[in-house]
Amino acid sequence: MLLLGDSIFDLHEGDKRIEAVMKNLLEQRSPLVRWTIYNEAHGGEYIGPKEGTPKGVSEPLFTTEKTGRYFEIVHRHARVDAVIVNYGGNDSKVYPPATFRKRIEALGRVLEKDYPGAVLIFATTMFVDPKHSAPYHRDDPKAPGFENGRPRNEYLEPYNHEIREFTAAHGYRLADVCRRIARETERGNWDFRLRQGQGDPREDPKHQGDMAWFDNIHPNDRGTKIIADVLVEALTKSGYSGHVRVR
């Protein structure tokens, strides 16, 4: 299995990384299957190619249609049974949702070509609890109609919409992380994200009213576990675990 994406997947260490949490969940479900997960996500990454001079991102997966880190990854991992993709958050800093749709369409095409027969799963972005986050501001908003000071979820929703429409149009699997965390938040389970500067959550009482303290979009350990659960659900539905090539 291959993971592609940004810092939502490229976070934490050791047994708290997303691939380790997923492997544990999968082994609980299918203890006789050997699960190998290659995590090639990279913090700050977006699909690309680059447009303009984007801020707050690293290099894209594709520097051109024929060059970039993607081709190095395929060379390292020539054969996998499933690819799980998590882009959108950094893409929203680079180009508008309509362009993101073109880029994710192009990614889907090359994945089908390079990994014929593999299950393709695309995940939506994190959900940020409006009661525990600061209003979102960008000097150069890419989401049409977005007004600075509105919640970050409103900014990211057009990109999530494209992911949902894209997967439905092509029959790919959807791991709707955003909606799952939104449902949990509605139930009162909002604590899925790191604190400012990766601060200690036990200091939350000292930061009442300081929404910046709660504003980090990256998942904490609880967030990583719920994301892993959503990904595993998407992966194992329709009996996928019954026909994995065991290595």
The reply to whether 148 falls in a domain is yes
Can you say whether the dihedral through the CA atoms of 105, 108, 112, 113 is positive or negative?
positive
The pLDDT of residue 149 is 95
Phi/psi region, residue 88 (left: phi>0; alpha: psi -120 to 50; beta: rest), is left
In a domain, 163, yes or no: yes
Beta bridge partners of 119: 82
Number of domains in the chain: 1
52 occurs within a structural domain: yes
Q: Is position 224 within any domain?
A: yes
The CATH number of whichever domain residue 159 belongs to comes to 3.40.50.1110
Q: Which residues constitute the domain of residue 93?
A: 2-237
Identify whether 242 is part of a domain: no
What pLDDT sits at residue 194? Answer: 97
Side-chain-side CA neighbours of residue 133 (13 Å): 24
Residue 137 C-alpha from the chain's centroid = 21
Examine residue 246 and state whether it is found in any structural domain, yes or no. Answer: no
Model confidence, pTM: 0.94
Which residue, chain included where needed, has tokens 């799963």?
121
Listed in order, strand segments (DSSP E) in the chain are: 2-5, 38-39, 82-86, 119-123, 173-175
* 247 falls within a domain: no
The whole-number pLDDT of residue 238 equals: 61
Task: For residue 88, give both structure tokens.
Answer: 């959108």
Q: Which residues of the chain have pLDDT under 50?
A: 240-247
